[in-house]
Structure 1
Amino acid sequence: MKRILIRSGKSPFDVVSPEAVMRQSIGGANLGNLVFSDSAYKMLLTPDVELVPTRGDRIRPDDAARINEEYDAVVLPFANAFRSQYERSLTTWTKVIERLRIPVVVLGIGAQSSLDYDLERLRPIDESVKEFAKAVLDRSPSIGVRGEFTGHYLDSLGFKDVEVIGCPSMFRYGGELNVEKKASALGRDSRIAVSVTRDAGDIEKIVMANFDRYPELVYFAQDHRELELLYWGDTSEAADRHAEFPQHRSHPLFRDGRVRLHLDPVTWIRSLSEYDFAFGTRIHGTITALLGGTPGMVLCHDSRTLELSRYFEIPYKKTTELSADVDAAALYEEADYTALLKGHGERLDTMTGFLESHGLDHVYAAGGDGGASFEEGMRGLDFAPPIRAWDGEDDGGLGYRLGWLKENAAELKRTQTRADKHIDALTKRNKALEDALAKQGKTLEKAVKRITALERTARNTPYRRVRRTVGRPVRRILKGRE
């Protein structure tokens, strides 16, 4: 049986609790990562293949020897890995890959920049990306990227063996994709799902404008910090602390119980299938809706959301083009899914062709089960329900107390992190000073030895030897005259 190591926070068949997700950092900082890793997992799970998840980015260079011994290939589904915040992890993966002797397949990696595809923003990480791409291409015929911008970026660095294949997430159900508007127009009672990203234009204003219009609007959160906020609570109400972005429990979305967070893509998709429309800045917030058959629109705020929307022909609007009070009904009316559905089969062929060119079998090949066994396995599992805000009612203020403790623990952790960084900086500075002093000491020691040698040489000049030889008798004669 062929064994493949796949980059994933967990196996799709692992049933996890919110405590485990937080403790083990499953999905990294964003549970949306599980949407594409689960789809890649399903695609590759043929009868003669065993897939083993990496459990995130926990692989280290020292693991390379074991990986070479135990696996036949490494498959790396990525998101926006070409960004400065991820450079350290990217460098670690490069060091791992450089030690591997087995095929390495990069499945849909992306670069992150601005809406105008500004390459200059990526220049600080150029060298790290070059090293990563070279290491991969030494073990793979090409690199699979998410969209046009990432392809253009790698081309600017001199890499031509690049294929635009999109993101595995859109192919969770293979060639099956059915998106239909359930009503001709949205009404006040329509069920609307929203997703938001910090610093994405006026997204928080757009959400709140529609919060007032649609009582059934719900915010689908994805981040770990939002999971912690739902699970632990905070003291924002008591402290009279508020923000336009939904980052405190005092925010109307949390206060009114209109926030949900799913730990698994399967429950996320099922839940969104019951909604009328989904919109927001989270690309996988919209993709999960589309997979569930619900119309959705991406509000693009950066290159990663824009290039994926363009590639898959998902309806989108740039956040720079929207007013702060845009009505979801207008977005719904404008959205057209004809191109998305028409081109889906061709895009699946591109993805599966990429896998085949890299020597990987998949469930959508002729004679494959199309993922039926995967779905059968999923149906037999009891996944956790969506996480809602814990309100702490009738508990003597326990909700507040735990929220307070959690906030203080988080602050202590931040303080400790700052202290550790300061200590590291001082340690490096001290080492540099010690090295400089040691170097100066060696230089001084050499100088002393040289002076001593010169002194010895000076004592043994012909003049001094003659003076010593003649001087003694002269001094005796002079002494005798006295």
Structure 2
Amino acid sequence: MHQRIFLRGRKGPFDVITPEDTFERNWIGDNNGNLVFSHAAYKLLATSTAEITPSRWFRPDPRTAAEINEKYDVFVVPLANAFRRSYAHRLESMTRLIERLKIPVVVLGVGVQTNVDGDREYLRPIDKPVSAFCRAVLDRSHSIGVRGEVTEDYLRTLGFSAVEQIGCPSMFLHGDSFRIDKPKASLGTDDRIALTISPYVSSMAKIVSHHHQRYPNLRYLPQDLKTLGTLLYGDAAEQRGKQSGIPVHTSHPLFVEDKVRMFVDPWTWMSYLSGFDFAFGTRIHGTITALLAGIPGYLFAHDSRTLELARYFGIPYRIMRDVPADVDAADLYAEADYTSFNEGHKARFTRIIDFLARHDLGNVFADGDSAARFDQRVRETTYPPAVRPATATATEDLLTRIQLLRDQNKTMQETIDSLQAQQLRERVRQAVRGPVRRMLRR
């Protein structure tokens, strides 16, 4: 079994990083849902003999290949919707690195992103970079683990047969016996509801308004980096004074009423959600995190990447374009059926474990008490609490942020002053050098 594991992941599961630093350096990779699957992958591989090193700020650079080959036995690459047009340049960089690796490369849960109809023509521009990536991986791996049938079908049209549907590592965080039950016969207006929104899905605006008015205990759990910045520091300069039906500005009622919570670690996120009765919305990992917290979740699938995971895991869903503006959480709760989710979980778990075994990777759940020790370490780690709107944040925390911004401003100014002084010295040298040269030529 491979023991020295180099794991693609910006942040390790026990790294404690403040929300301010998370925003400043983008530790969540634009979306805190990334942490859910990367940390779950870490746990899956965390046997008593494994040495796992998260890649953190590692950039795919072919010049680092020799070091990786020397220090590690395997490169494990958990991915989300990496087969998308906006990611092609990063995929090409990763491919150039992989082509120089001599160690095995294992891809976990990669997905393609197109519309819910699986528009093949939309994907034509990425056919070449995706093919190059797959060839590089399969030269060093038995197969590629993909999210679901949409991605498998796409790779097969490109000529690749060594493709296995394994879903996303996140859903296997709790092992093979995980299940979801609906503890309530029905959902009432006083029940606690968690809402997830992709800010670019504008059709969610009326749904947000309806549920804000009907459910006083509604909470919005954003996932994107931009909203984290809004919670910490208020609206960006270009957004001030603007309004939207989607909660992206501090003027939105959910901000004003302190009904927004964002987390920079999966563990505090799940802990918070465990006190809710239901979660729904467009975010696939927002839905998955709710399920991992033990509460019923419901997805509005708006593209192929969300749709194929919902289908693979048996997560209740509707296609976003078919969701009426007056949809109600109580009806979604009544409609939600977890039979497929529960009955198929053990088989899906076995599938990903077999995939790992074929790639000479151990798994934490077959390694004595390693899974329990991982969970205990999580419980013993103190992570930052939820980030709330600035108007509801304690004064001492706001002062800390102000001091941080002041220190950053001072550092930036000193850097600018140093650069300006350096440029001035260079201009003086150039100005003096000319006359001196002319004198020497006489």
**Would the TM-score normalized by the shorter structure come out above 0.5?**
yes
Q: Give the unaligned 5+ runs of structure 1.
A: 410-482
What is the distance in 1 between the residues matched to 2:92 and 2:355? 25
Q: 1:239 to 1:308 in 2, by over 3 A?
A: closer
1:389 aligns with 2:398: no
1:358 alignment partner in structure 2: 359
> Highest Rg: 1 or 2?
1
1:239 CA displacement = 5.3
What is the distance in 2 between the residues matched to 1:351 and 1:204? 37
Give the match's secondary structure for 1:364.
Answer: helix
1:198 CA displacement = 2.9
What is the distance in 1 between the residues matched to 2:23 and 2:285? 20
Give the match's secondary structure for 2:299.
Answer: strand
Q: Report the residue type matching 2:308 in the other structure.
A: E
**How do 1:414-429 residues align onto structure 2 when only pairs under 5 Å count?**
none
What is the distance in 1 between the residues matched to 2:354 and 2:69? 26
What is the distance in 2 between the residues matched to 1:393 and 1:26? 22
**How do 1:447-458 residues align onto structure 2 when only pairs under 5 Å count?**
none
Q: 1:153 to 1:186 in 2, by over 3 A?
A: same
What is the distance in 2 between the residues matched to 1:333 and 1:356? 39
1:258 aligns with 2:259: yes
**How do 1:54-203 residues align onto structure 2 when only pairs under 5 Å count?**
54-55=55-56, 58-200=59-201, 202-203=203-204
Contact conserved, 1:196 with 1:204, CA < 8 A, in 2?
no
1:22 CA displacement = 1.6
Give the match's secondary structure for 2:364.
Answer: coil
1:188 CA displacement = 1.3
2:331 alignment partner in structure 1: 330
TM-score of the pair, normalised by structure 2: 0.87
Deviations 1:291-344 (A, max 9, x none): 111001010000000000000000001111111111111100000111101110
What is the distance in 2 between the residues matched to 1:245 and 1:307? 25
Q: Report the residue type matching 1:298 in the other structure.
A: L
What is the distance in 2 between the residues matched to 1:235 and 1:144? 40
Q: 1:325 to 1:158 in 2, by over 3 A?
A: same
What is the distance in 1 between the residues matched to 2:369 and 2:87? 36
1:364 CA displacement = 2.2
1:145 CA displacement = 0.1
1:375 alignment partner in structure 2: 375
What is the distance in 2 between the residues matched to 1:282 and 1:144? 22
What is the distance in 2 between the residues matched to 1:392 and 1:172? 33
What is the distance in 2 between the residues matched to 1:135 and 1:235? 42
Report sequence identity in percent: 50
Contact conserved, 1:201 with 1:320, CA < 8 A, in 2?
no
Deviations 1:69-96 (A, max 9, x none): 1000000000000001111111111011
What is the distance in 1 between the residues matched to 2:237 and 2:327? 29
What is the distance in 2 between the residues matched to 1:287 and 1:392? 28
RMSD: 2.2
1:368 CA displacement = 3.5
Q: Report the residue type matching 2:391 in the other structure.
A: D
Q: How many residues are aligned here?
A: 401
What is the distance in 1 between the residues matched to 2:69 and 2:60? 13
Q: Report the residue type matching 1:348 in the other structure.
A: F
Q: Report the residue type matching 1:182 in the other structure.
A: P
2:293 alignment partner in structure 1: 292
Q: Report the residue type matching 2:321 in the other structure.
A: T
1:200 CA displacement = 2.5
Consecutive aligned runs of 4 or more in structure 1 exceeding 4 Å deviation: 235-239, 392-395
Stretch of structure 1 that moved more, 205-214 or 64-73: 205-214
TM-score of the pair, normalised by structure 1: 0.80
What is the distance in 2 between the residues matched to 1:394 and 1:385? 12
What is the distance in 1 between the residues matched to 2:88 and 2:237? 34
Q: Choose between structure 1 and 2 for higher RCO, CA contacts under 8 A separated by at least 6 residues.
A: 2
2:347 alignment partner in structure 1: 346
1:27 CA displacement = 2.0
